[in-house]
Amino acid sequence: MTAAQLARRMGVKQSTVSEYEKGERARTVTLETLDRAAEALGCRLVYALVPEKSLEATVRERARLVACHQVQRVARTMTLEAQRLETDAEARQVASLAEKLIAETPASLWDTREPV
């Protein structure tokens, strides 16, 4: 289908369809515009977010990251007091806390993109 034909079906000018196409390339096109184009093409717009990995893997990764951050924060304080744990003990603490976070999955697990 040509741009002119699509424009007629959508009830817009051909130059408007060209602008829509530019918006699509620039990733600035709106869902409303895509929906109208889909309708004009006899299609249905489907909008989806597709995870890069499984939910379980995402939760595990996030729990480990948050646990590591929390343990390291405590470890810094303990180092100042000359009470820092051995590396393997610290790793066990991270693993234990991560498992607890996975089991509970608190909403705070997702508070920030990266733990502060």
- Cα R_g (the chain), whole angstroms: 25
Determine, yes or no, domain membership for 65: yes
Do 24 and 71 lie in a common domain? no
Range of the domain at 9: 3-40
Beta strands in 1-116 (DSSP E): none
Q: Would you write out the chain's pLDDT as a tens digit for each of its 116 residues?
A: 899 999 999 999 999 999 999 999 999 999 999 999 999 999 999 999 999 999 999 999 999 999 988 888 877 676 556 666 677 888 898 999 999 999 998 888 888 766 54
Comparing CA positions, the residue from 44, 43, 37, 28 lying closest to residue 9 is 37
Do 19 and 64 lie in a common domain? no
User: For residue 29, which phi and psi values (nearest 5 degrees)?
Assistant: -65, 145
Q: Is 81 in a helix, a strand, or coil?
A: coil
Domain count, the chain: 2
Q: What is the CB neighbour count within 10 angstroms for residue 88?
A: 8
Determine, yes or no, domain membership for 61: yes
